[in-house]
Amino acid sequence: MSELGLYRTMLVSRALDDECMDMLARGLPVPHFHSGAGQEALSVGGAAGLRDSDVVIYSHRGYAQLLAKGVPLEVIARDMFYKAGGSNAARGGVMHVSAPEIGVPGREGVFGARFGMAAGFGLAQRLRDTDDVTVCFYGEAAGARGPLYEALNMAVLWDLPVVLIAENNGWSVNSRTEWLYPNARMSAVWRGFDIPVTVVDGNDLGEVRAAVGEAVRRARAGEGPSVVEGLTYRLHPHIWWDDAAYVPAEELAEAQERDPLTLTRAALVAAGTAPEQLDALEAEVAEEVRAVLAEVLAGPDAQWDVEPRIVGVAGV
């Protein structure tokens, strides 16, 4: 996908965020919504360019991850609002979007169990002698769970084709990253493991793509797992009911100046894309997302008697 295409995916994710935040401000329900605003470069750069047969285990702010992997916006929105035509027949909402035919098997039901899933998919890929990979996104809270260490031990011992992407957005709910990890670096927990660790500017799309691309190359070549830690910032509260009063105003303002959408747009302009073209693209995406949400919200609710799809993940 071109840089402009990646920017468009980032815009779609942000526009979805903006529309949901606007609905919440108007007192309208948005079930179990976690904003991904501020993390789009890390999400899109980490998931774009993978094959359908590659597996992505997305995070709870992973709308951009799902979009970059190929899940249609309409499906994400239908799952979010428990509408007919979603991926899980209203059994899991947006936290459990499932598109196994393109390598999105869904998320864990027990928080932090994603790491065992990632190792399991990686083991299946190796046993089937493919060069597919598993990419697992996670945040500070999940990374503080014990299953991470068990899965890392398996991945390193067996050279599993797993790429772990740590989303260091400064906060674990309302606890600062430095309260959970030495030197505020999630990658500090891997000390002692024989595993490559790369720390990148998670707001720089090009830097993320380069680091994840190298990690994926290693995994495909049978060289084992890698970790990429992206330093970014959560621009909206943890969840819809959180007023984020604990976030210093000056810190948030500084983070907003490094908004990944702003930085990516500037990079596109510097590379020769006309600002007028980007203005038109941004307006087009905003209208497209509004139209999709309007159609989804006007549609019928999902019925509980509909059986969920049981489909094997491509290549696994």
Q: Pick 266 or 107 by higher pLDDT.
A: 266
184 pLDDT exceeds 90? no
Question: How confident is the model at residue 64, as a pLDDT?
Answer: 96
Question: How confident is the model at residue 209, as a pLDDT?
Answer: 97
Question: How confident is the model at residue 234, as a pLDDT?
Answer: 85
Question: How confident is the model at residue 314, as a pLDDT?
Answer: 59
Residue 107 binned pLDDT confidence (cut-offs 50, 70, 90): confident
Q: Is the overall model pTM greater than 0.95, yes or no?
A: no
Question: How confident is the model at residue 280, as a pLDDT?
Answer: 98
163 pLDDT exceeds 80? yes
CATH architecture of 3-298: 3-Layer(aba) Sandwich (3.40)
143 pLDDT exceeds 90? no
Backbone angles phi, psi at 230, to 5 degrees: -100, 120
List the single range of 12-26, 116-130, 187-201, 248-262 with lowest mean pLDDT.
Answer: 187-201
Selection from 54, 56, 20 nearest residue 37 by Cα: 20
Residue 172 binned pLDDT confidence (cut-offs 50, 70, 90): low
Q: Pick 269 or 185 by higher pLDDT.
A: 269
Backbone angles phi, psi at 54, to 5 degrees: -75, 145
Highest mean pLDDT among 57-66, 92-101, 172-181, 258-267: 258-267
206-257 pLDDT, tens digit each: 999 999 999 999 999 999 999 999 999 888 877 766 777 777 888 888 988 9
Question: How confident is the model at residue 309, as a pLDDT?
Answer: 57
**C-alpha torsion sign, points 115, 120, 126, 132:** negative
Q: Taking all residues of the chain, what is their mean pLDDT, rounded to a whole number?
A: 90
58-101 pLDDT, tens digit each: 998 889 999 999 999 999 999 999 999 999 888 888 889 999 99
